[in-house]
Structures are given as structure tokens and as C-alpha cells.
Chains A and B, each alone.
Chain A
């Protein structure tokens, strides 16, 4: 379980959000939604301690991650897989090496075992035939899938997706959504999806956190969201041209 308690963050005089408070149960998929610039990605970077809040706590398995030293925080991060908005693939190495990268440093597998693991991860994302390609040769959707294969290669307990469907055509976006669901079911991973794509939210999420006006404006299940009459939430959902009722 990940507990986020009274988290407040500002950059200089700019308040990003304050007193954000919610909890993610093990095995759940939470979608964090909100307008561009509302601090969704900033929130994501607080959950694996890439950023430190002004105040508040993130408690994972009973431990406040901001009270850990840097070495322990790094060990904790190995339990997280992260799919970045731009995939963040290393452009100096090919697709295979990108996926193998964490294994080469954080596992004792020999070369054959690494190859087997990498090909298995690439098979999950239907990209077993592009292993030897340079990352520059991959399309946007393929890059996301390679990023996902790299994110799951160490079999993380948690996976965080930052705008996984942004910039993709609807068909490819659906494929990514299906993969998010597949990963959650197959590996029983707790997932956090940052998005403003309501199709994606309805496809993958169990719960939704809505950031608006520098605070957590709404939190609940998908069914509760469908029934909600909170104006700013409804405005956000209808603005995304999706009629949920």
C-alpha cells in the first residue's frame, strides 16, 4: 500500500498543490487526472522520491520514504518501474540493450539468462522482432512499448506510467491501455497512471485522483466518478469529449 499524507509542494513562490492525501491499495490501478500543468508528473516524482515535498509524507510498507537515506531510496526505486512520457530510452544503445540495461547492473544473471528475460519482456509487448533495432528507428508507440518492457524487466512491485497514450493514434493508444491492464493482471502490479485521456482512465483504472486548483479535488472509484456531480470534475470529463453518463 502507498499512503500519501498531506503532501505539499511548491517551486519558489509557485504552489503546485497542497495537502494532497490519498492511498493506493496493493494491486490497484490508480489514474491521476487533471489539466496540463496541474502537477501530475510532479506528484509521480514524489512517489518514488525523485522529488522531495515541502511537507507531508509518502509511506510505502509502513516507511516514510523521505526519511530514508539516499542508498535506501535507490533500493526502493528498484521496486518501481516507470514509463516516461517520452519513453526516455537511452539513444546510445539499441532496443535490446535498453531493456537489458537494469538487469546488467541490478541482477546476477549471465548473458543467456539476460537474453531470455529481455526477449520474454519484448514478447509481452509484442516487439520481439525489433530487439536489434536502434531506438531512433522505432515509432512513438514502439518506443512506449520498449519503455514498458524496460520498466517491467526487474519485475517491480509498482509501475508508474506518465502520459502513456499522449501523442499516439487511437489504435496504438488502445494497445498501450491493453498492455497496462495486462501488466497489472499478469504481475499483480500496483499501477499509477498519469493521464488526461479519459478513454485511458476508463479502460485501465480502478480509482481516480483528480488534481485541480492546486489540491486533490476529487478521489474515488470509477463508478463513483460516473455518479459524481462535482462541477469541476464533470467539466474536466466533458471537456475531453467523453460522455460518461
Chain B
């Protein structure tokens, strides 16, 4: 019963956000601010995640496939496919559920418990249009960009790790990556990151917007936003793979 009530409130918030999305003049300034916060400010952590994911994947694949009968280019094929299809989107999503989701839930939760959202409504603002719409839009627009960044740095990390560890020469790595490259894999990754961006920001907005109970309540909302964001990402990942692959 509680889960149904929560789902109803979440759906209602999404419906109101959709209706409010036409009030562009209200959230225009906030949208640009959020694009920077969600996108630009997340690039360093996403670069780091990408490089290390690609590096570890390459070293582990080289270790597991150490055989005279398996060509070295296979490592490049496995690593690039894994990064483009799964790791760049999912690992970035999980990291951003912590970074972006926690920030959004804390900001809105603090605004709720300190009556700043009431103040906005009292002034005549549509608080959902002003606060929720730009954050969700920023997630939807910027997560695919971050996926591309994670993929590029993941592959770069893979090539570098193969070269410096002496396990895979760059030419073999890239040969394998090119041999099994399908543009659909990138499109699939972009679709996933688009969905993850929506999930992380909308869940965080929901948890923050309806926070209550002072500092403890805000802490609880932030934790819930991060944990639920991660769970929904894994569920969505499974559903998208089952539906689209």
C-alpha cells in the first residue's frame, strides 16, 4: 500500500513537471545553471571512472585470456564492447546517482524544510517548474554527453593499460575494437544513459521535494534518493537489455 502511494505521488510529480515544462521563461536560467552542475562539473569524475574502468577491464581480460590460441585483438574487442554496451553507462550512472542524485535531493530537501519552496509558491512561482523541470531536463540532456565522455576515456584507458602493462599492443587493441564495432551499441548506450539521467534526477527531485522532518529528514531523503536511484538504474539496465538487444 505504501509503495503504491509513493508511486502515485511520484507519477503525480512527473505529470505536473510535464505540464509545467511549457513555462520555459520560469526555468530558463535554472536550466543553464543545472546543465553546468549536472554536466560540466561531473566531467572530471566521469573521466576518472572511464579511465580506470577501461584499464582494469583490459588488464583482467588479458589475464583471463592468456593463451597462444586467442589473438590479442580479442581483448580489444571484449573491452570496447563491454564499455560501449554496459560499463560506460552503468558505472557512470551509479557514480552519478551518488554525485548528482545526492546533490539534487539535498538541495530540494533543504529548501523544503527551510520553507524556501513555500516562499517560491507564495511569490506566485510554480515551484515544480522552477525547481524540478530544469534538473530533470539537465539529467536527460547531459547524461548522454557524459556517457560519450566515459566511453572515450574508457577506451583510452584500455589502450593505455594494454600498452603500459605490455599485455596488448595498441594496434591489436584497436584492431579488435574496430572489428566488432556496431554503431547500434553506441546508440544503445546513449538510450540507456538518457533513461538513467531521467531516473536519477527525477527520483532525487521527488525525494527532495517531498522531504520533511528537518535535518534528519533531509539526510533520509538524500540516502533514499541515492539508494533508490542505484536500484532503479540496475532494473532499467536489465529491462533495456531484455527489450532492445
Contact = CB atoms under 8 A, between A and B. Distances in A.
Given A86-B114, A88-B114, A105 B125 contact: yes
A90 B115 contact: no
A75 B124 contact: yes
A48 B122 contact: yes
A74 B115 contact: no
Give the contact-size bracket for chain B: 10 to 19
A101 B126 CA distance: 14
B165 interface: no
Interface in B107-146: 110-111, 114-116, 118-119, 121-126
Nearest to B119: A88
A86 B125 contact: no
B123 A84 contact: no
Given A74-B126, A105-B26, A84 B121 contact: no
A86 B115 contact: yes
Interface string A70-90: 100011111010101110111
Nearest to A74: B124
Give the contact-size bracket for chain A: 20 to 34
A101 B115 CA distance: 16
Interface string A89-133: 111000000000110011000000000000000000000000000
B114 A102 contact: no
B124 A77 contact: yes
Contacts of B125: 74, 105
Contacts of B115: 84-86, 88
A85 B122 CA distance: 14
A244 interface: no
A50 interface: yes
Contacts of A86: 114-115
Nearest to B26: A105
Contacts of B114: 86, 88, 91
Contacts of A154: 123
Interface in B80-131: 110-111, 114-116, 118-119, 121-126
A102 B118 contact: no
Interface of B: 26, 110-111, 114-116, 118-119, 121-126
Interface of A: 45, 48, 50, 70, 74-78, 80, 82, 84-86, 88-91, 101-102, 105-106, 154
Given A88-B118, A90-B119, 8 more contacts: A48-B122, A75-B124, A77-B122, A78-B123, A82-B122, A85-B115, A90-B116, A105-B26
